[in-house]
Amino acid sequence: MSTVANLCKKISDGLEYFCLFLAGIILIVNLSAVMLGVFARFYRPPIWTMDLAKITLVWVVMLGAAPALKRGEHMAISIIVDMLPQHLHRFVVTMRTVVFFGILLAMVFLGVNYVWSMRMFTIMSLNIKQTIPLMAIPVGIGLMLIEYTLEQFIPFNSYKNENIH
Quick check: is 138 in a domain?
A: yes
Burial 8-37 (b: 16+ CB within 10 A, else e): bbebbeebbeebeeebeebbeebeebbebb
Quick check: is 14 in a domain?
A: yes
Quick check: is 165 in a domain?
A: no
Domain count, the chain: 1
Quick check: is 101 in a domain?
A: yes
Do 122 and 129 contact (CB within 8 A), yes or no?
yes
Quick check: is 32 in a domain?
A: yes
Residue 58 belongs to domain spanning = 3-160
Q: How much of the chain, in percent, has pLDDT values that exceed 70?
A: 93
pLDDT in tens, 66-111: 999 988 877 777 788 888 899 898 998 899 899 999 999 999 999 9
Do 149 and 71 contact (CB within 8 A), yes or no?
no
Quick check: is 126 in a domain?
A: yes
Q: pTM (2 decimals)?
A: 0.84
* pLDDT tier, 165 (very low <50, low <70, confident <90, very high otherwise): very low
Quick check: is 73 in a domain?
A: yes
Quick check: is 125 in a domain?
A: yes
How far is Cα 118 from Cα 41, in angstroms, rounded to an integer? Answer: 31
